[in-house]
Amino acid sequence: METTREGAKKIAHDSTVQSLNQLLEKNYDAENGYKNALTETKSAQLKPYFTKQAARRSRNANELYKAIRNLNATPVEKGSAKAAVHRTWLDLKTAVVGKNDESILKECTRGDITAVNEYEKVLNDPEYLLDSKGMIRQQLHNIQISLKTIRKLKDIVD
């Protein structure tokens, strides 16, 4: 029979794994989104930025993957189906309307705002285990910096 303390630990463990997997999925999506932005942009100014962001999200994903493994759990292996559908819709929209750097940056902004919200939600979860919070805070900080940079880049391409 499970004690109250054991039950609470299991709930915290499961909540942590679920949260980390959601962030892992979000980073897979962001990495793919930045790679897509890299191939779509014609701006020599934006290409290095998109390359750097794709690499950063890949590093985030690797850190999250390891954290989940350290909890003896199974990490997700790919991004969300919702993001794949969204990318397909954007590809169709691009074929009809065309994609410019302003619209690419707008999508990057939207994605990073969503990521910031998800990271903050995880950090505010009272059932979340403390071991990974430092890593999560650092990743959130980097995404917030990215968001500020995107907003500055939008001013350049306008």
What confidence score (pLDDT) does residue 83 get?
52
Q: What percent of the chain shows pLDDT beyond 90?
A: 49
102-150, pLDDT tens digit by residue? 888 888 898 899 999 999 999 998 777 678 889 999 999 999 999 999 9
Question: For 148-155, what is the mean pLDDT?
Answer: 87
Domains of the chain from N-terminus onward: 4-157 (1.20.1260.10)
Write the burial class of residue 1 (CB in 10 Å: 0-12 exposed, 13-18 middle, 19+ buried): exposed
pLDDT digits (tens, 9 = 90+) for 50-76: 999 999 999 999 999 999 999 999 999
Percentage of residues of the chain with pLDDT beyond 70: 83
DSSP secondary structure string, 14-35? HHHHHHHHHHHHHHHHHHHHHH
Banded pLDDT at 11 (limits 50, 70, 90): confident
How far apart, in whole angstroms, are the C-alpha atoms of residue 124 and residue 37?
31
Average the pLDDT over 5-30 and give the result: 90
Per-residue pLDDT at 79: 56
Quick check: 12 and 129 in contact, CB under 8 A? Answer: yes
